[in-house]
Amino acid sequence: MTSTGWIAHLETSHVIVAAVLFVLGMVLASAAARLIEGWAREHSDARRARVIRRIFHYSLMVLVILAVLDVLGVGVGVLLGAAGILSLGIGFASQTSLSNIISGLFLIGERFFSLGDVIQVGTLTGEVLAIDLLSVKLRTYDNLYVRVPNETLIKSEITNLTRLPIRRLDLTIGVGYDSDLGQVRSTLLGIARKLTFCLEEPSPLAVFSGFGASSLNIQFSIWIRRENYSAAMNGLADEILKTFREAGIDLPFPQQVVHFAAADPFVHLPSSGSPGDLRQGR
């Protein structure tokens, strides 16, 4: 039957029911999607809530359209079978995209990071600007806009640098072998007490960490608020150098000791003579 004949044989009541069902389904789908978005905002951020709303709304609209087609007498089963075959073909052709979408859903559900967080993925560090179904967009410290596929994030180790309010700053400091380790430790802890960005709790730590090639190594650890990290890196180094110079604590350069082997007994070296004699073989 042609499309014209099919339309002519449709009962008026079926068309009216289908129209009402379509309009009512659109209204209910939109209302339900808004409710889902409101619930998602209470348990997540605005970006994830919008993504969840779209997924839920599109899913309901597909169900509404299938119901309307069924009322109009269209073979929904045949359509579903064709859609299944088509989806299978598209799936083989776009496995990477599907993998990224599934990974994006896992990232949204896991909520390991949010918009505005600074994360580290491998050697890449940046602020999260967008979380989408296919990828996450980052802005690096040198102001580059980077797209990271969701599949890469799922398979990689991710470090969230800004999720927790405080973090520890570690420095390894080498002092000369003739230094008094007790004095070094007390000097470092005094520096921590003097600097305003160093937190009292957890308390700072200065412990011997090993014998270096040219120095005795001390690990100096302080706790700071995450927003003070850059200032602490610079301020701490400046204060250590200044205080160590005032206290006479040596910060040695790398050193190397060279031992000369005994001279070959079969080679005769003159015991005296000028450099000119040596050049002339006298």
Please tell me whether the peptide bond between 202 and the residue prior to it is cis, using omega within 30 degrees of 0.
Answer: yes
SS3 147: strand
* Residues with Cβ within 8 Å of residue 205, at least 6 apart in sequence: 219, 220, 221, 222
Q: Flag the least confident range among 17-26, 44-53, 154-163.
A: 44-53
Residue range 248-274: mean pLDDT, rounded:
67
Share of the chain above pLDDT 70, in %: 75
Domain ranges of the chain: 10-93, 112-160, 166-247
What is the Cα–Cα distance from 200 to 102, expressed in whole angstroms?
Answer: 44
C-beta separation of 105 from 56 below 8 A: no
Triad 146, 150, 151: Cα angle to 5°: 120
Amino acid of residue 120: Q
Pairing state between β 135-140 and 216-225: unpaired
**Environment class of residue 162 by beta-carbon count within 10 Å: exposed (0-12), middle (13-18) or buried (19+)?**
middle
* pLDDT over threshold 60, residue 90: no
CATH fold group of domain 166-247: Alpha-Beta Plaits (3.30.70)
Look up residue 216 and give its DSSP letter.
E
> Three-state SS for 223?
strand
Q: How many helices (H) and strands (E) does the chain have?
A: 9, 8
Between these two residues, 135 and 63, which has the higher pLDDT value? 135
Position 6 scores a pLDDT of: 46
Residue 78 clears pLDDT 60, i.e. is over it: no
The answer on pLDDT for 231 being more than 80 is yes
Alpha carbon distance 270, 86 (integer Å)? 96
Side-chain half-sphere CA neighbours of 127 within 13 A: 8
E strands in the chain: 118-121, 124-131, 135-140, 145-149, 158-160, 166-175, 205-211, 216-225
Range among 20-24, 54-58, 76-80 with highest mean pLDDT value: 20-24
Paired with 168 in beta bridges are 223
% of the chain at pLDDT higher than 90: 30
Contacts of 193 (CB under 8 A, 6+ apart): 204
Tell me what pLDDT residue 93 has.
46
How remote is the C-alpha of 133 from its chain's centroid?
A: 17
CATH number of 112-160: 2.30.30.60
Average pLDDT score over residue span 237-254: 89
pLDDT class of 88 with cuts at 50, 70, 90: low
CATH T-level fold of 10-93: Helix Hairpins (1.10.287)
Strand partners, 170: 221
pLDDT of residue 99: 78
pLDDT tens for residues 23-60?
887 888 788 878 877 777 776 666 667 777 777 777 77
